[in-house]
Structure 1
Amino acid sequence: MEQVQSAALAPRPDHVPLDRVIEFDLYALPGGEDDAQAAYWRFQQDCPEVFWTPFNGGHWVATRADIVEAMLRDPSTYSSNRVFLPRDDNAPRTVPLEADPPVHTEMRKPLSRGLFPKAVDAMEPSIRELATSLIDGFVDRGGCEFVGEFANVFPMNIFLDLIELPRTEREVLLPIVEAFIKGGSIEVRNEAQMKLFAYIGEVVRQRRVTPGDDLGSMIVNSTVAGERIGEMEAISYMTLLLLGGLDTIASMLSFITKFLAEHPEHRRALVANLEDDVYVKRAMEELFRRFGIVNAGRVLTRDVEVAGATLRANDTVFPVNLLVGLDDRLHDDPLKVDFGREKSARHLTFGAGPHSCPGSQLARREITIFLREWLRRIPDFAVKPGTRPKTIMGVTISLHSLDLVWP
């Protein structure tokens, strides 16, 4: 899920020294349109480990792996009560994303249970069938717009399967979600948000009155301290399930596919080793490391010293977890994709601590299935000449479009 950047620059607080102030706008990083992750990496190389920016409400930025991971694993100091930037204390909270233990722990239980490895195993045949049917729908054309024709549709159908709604409902939901994520203006996004909440709200009310065995029924009837969560919390939770699964998977698929389209030597190596589970897994984790896409803010609950900087209670900090995978203290030549790295790829693409992604097993399975089914059918492909994939910067990094061609 995404926010819209703030044009106004925040005044520098008294506890922020001038040498810690850096112009960093997560919605408009220099070079981000060409390589978003490399744009982040340049700040990691050139800036203090922790610095403050006046953009998007004014907030701290943490760039090094050890600091970022420590922040994510310490919710008592770095609260998730507000994770979007710019921070809006008046906006309704997105639960359980914007909640801390023990409330977060209780609310997350049904989602975690519904996505256990055994549950993901049971879903694999339908995921494989979906991937093959989507690819077979355009393979003979010799090209596609990957984001709109596959990356968005694939996880949307899986979401609909999880909550036991017909896959045809994607025709209703996809345009609304697209407008909400990539609307480009506050007005367009707000209108899309209202439509999305109306649609999700109807599903939530049905599942609270007559719950089934689906994942949606489980999460909208979650309990905290023995009491069922309220209707608005249930709508927020279901919306998070939709957008979290759709936005992140679509973005991962898009960046991985763009890289393979532009690097035939890596693509050929994968094609040659498609049946080798160990090789495919290492390659996939290396791609996750290089192309992290999701970050989230935190709010300080107390004063703390970090890397020589003084962070005050109620300050906002942005621990950039995609930079863990690009930290040259952990990885040699971190911008290079190397499927044969001696050390396994280390990254926080799925987060760390209590807010680590409960859908990581499902995400890995989806992307593994995609890689195999796509490369079996389309082993040779490229970005369409004359087109340029457009990157959308933000809390989640995504591609607006990706035109591909193949023989």
Structure 2
Amino acid sequence: MDFDMYSVPGGSADAQAAFHAVQKASPDIFWTPRNGGHWVATRAEDVEMMLRDPARFSSNRVFLPRDDNAPRSLPLEADPPLHTELRKPLSRALFPKIVDDMEPRVRQLVDDLIDNLIDRGECDFVADFANIMPMNIFLDLVDLPREERHYLIPLVEKFIKGGTLDARQQAQQAIFLYVTDIVRARRAAPGNDLASIVVNAAVGGEMISEMDAISYMTLILFGGLDTIASMLSYITLFLATHAEHRAVLTARLDDDRFVRDAMEELFRRFGIVQAARVVQEDFDYKGVPFRANDTILPINMLCGLDDRRVDDPLEVRFDREKSARHLAFGAGPHSCPGATLARREIAIFLREWLRRIPDFALAPGTTPVNLLGVTCGLESLKLVWPRPSRPAV
């Protein structure tokens, strides 16, 4: 099949619907010559199996096109038992109790961001909110001033959305130097922050190398910013363009179970991630002749859009009798250790935003553009809403 994960027909308008169209029109598993040549798995049963079987489907290379000479992004590009050891300190730093303790600060951050926007009656949600909220939370976690976002956000944006390879490489180099300074400072004088915990991680009783620590910190930076910003943006776009769903959710913000189920339905519909795996041995699977060292792309986002599991998968229904499974936060050894924090951030956002700005819409004449990649997201999202009335003085 002629399939390019970075350029799917219709993808700029609706990334998830475009990948779903590929799912409907293709064999369950197929080969594409694009991006170095690789297999693609599109159905929930197969994707879930591959993510849960690191012995046969290794995470040692997850980016396409595959570059075996590039430094590995740890712990993302590692398998058990190394991955297990590397992940422990991050998982412990994001235990539910710690997330509970963070909640008041996250809520205050959301309120402050809304305060800065509400009187304007308009914003670019991606630039003015979605990028800033998770970046500030990241900076809090690693004990750095929030003002650092003014330097970091443009670099991350250039790396993710850079128009040329040269622009991406320049941003990557600047991020590398920034993270290197943090790693060296926290290894020389560790504190209690997340950065100190992960850069001093030990495997087999020995501290990880400086390069591995830099890789680890860089991954946390991107994971904490890019994925949350994308999730927030897709959810907000849906609510801006579906007034009935927005009204129902706004009316039931105090119903914890309803909000939780609504969020899971939105995660299912608007999956964002797709990361490759490397086949570890020769074997046949459902008639497909996998060979050792083949690359395969199990598309996570399609698990929640598989019509073999979900009726009318492109439709968002807050009243589904049973929440459909999705892999928005992965599965198996590489399930997202920050999932509890991510869910809490988005729940706080929904409650605070919808209470204060319940009626908002796409700015007239604007069309959000989807960007496809390992993480899909929106380039921008222009919103408008009625300015709050102020009492006469």
Secondary structure of 2:18's partner?
helix
Matches within 5 A, 1:274-285: 274-285=253-264
1:406 alignment partner in structure 2: 385
For the pair 1:191 / 2:180, whether they are aligned, the reply is no
1:146 alignment partner in structure 2: 125
The one-letter amino acid paired with 2:47 is V
* Match 2:338 to one of 330, 334, 359: 359
Deviation at 1:307, TM superposition (A): 2.5
CA distance in 2, matches of 1:350, 1:124: 20
* Match 1:327 to one of 276, 283, 306: 306
CA distance in 1, matches of 2:278, 2:323: 32
* Match 1:101 to one of 71, 74, 80: 80
CA distance in 2, matches of 1:321, 1:291: 11
For the pair 1:111 / 2:56, whether they are aligned, the reply is no
Matches within 5 A, 1:221-370: 221-370=200-349
The one-letter amino acid paired with 2:132 is V
Deviation at 1:42, TM superposition (A): 0.9
Name which of structure 1's ranges 301-310 and 131-140 shifts more when overlaid on structure 2: 301-310
CA distance in 2, matches of 1:272, 1:108: 39
CA distance in 1, matches of 2:141, 2:335: 20
The one-letter amino acid paired with 2:212 is E
1:181 alignment partner in structure 2: 160
CA displacement, residues 338-378 of structure 1 (integer Å, 9 cap, x when unaligned): 00001113100000000000000000000000000000110
1:376 alignment partner in structure 2: 355
The alignment yields a C-alpha RMSD, in angstroms, of 0.6
CA contact (8 A) 1:261 1:381 kept: yes
CA contact (8 A) 1:282 1:345 kept: no
* Match 1:43 to one of 7, 19, 22: 22
2:116 alignment partner in structure 1: 137
* Match 1:211 to one of 175, 190, 194: 190
CA distance in 2, matches of 1:132, 1:305: 54
CA displacement, residues 312-359 of structure 1 (integer Å, 9 cap, x when unaligned): 100000001111100111111111000000111310000000000000
CA contact (8 A) 1:50 1:307 kept: no
CA contact (8 A) 2:309 2:324 kept: no
CA contact (8 A) 1:130 1:154 kept: yes
CA contact (8 A) 1:50 1:306 kept: no
1:170 alignment partner in structure 2: 149
The normalised TM-score by structure 1 is 0.94
* Match 1:77 to one of 48, 56, 59: 56
1:125 alignment partner in structure 2: 104
The one-letter amino acid paired with 1:29 is V
Secondary structure of 2:305's partner?
coil
The one-letter amino acid paired with 2:337 is P
Secondary structure of 1:88's partner?
coil
For the pair 1:390 / 2:369, whether they are aligned, the reply is yes
Name which of structure 1's ranges 334-343 and 174-183 shifts more when overlaid on structure 2: 174-183
For the pair 1:27 / 2:9, whether they are aligned, the reply is no
Give the count of matched residue pairs: 386
* Match 1:92 to one of 61, 71, 80: 71
Q: Which stretches of structure 1, 4 residues or longer, exceed 2 Å deviation after superposition?
A: none
CA contact (8 A) 1:49 1:307 kept: no
CA displacement, residues 202-239 of structure 1 (integer Å, 9 cap, x when unaligned): 01100000000011100000111111000011011001
Secondary structure of 2:278's partner?
strand
CA displacement, residues 244-280 of structure 1 (integer Å, 9 cap, x when unaligned): 1100000000000000000000000000101100000
For the pair 1:60 / 2:43, whether they are aligned, the reply is no
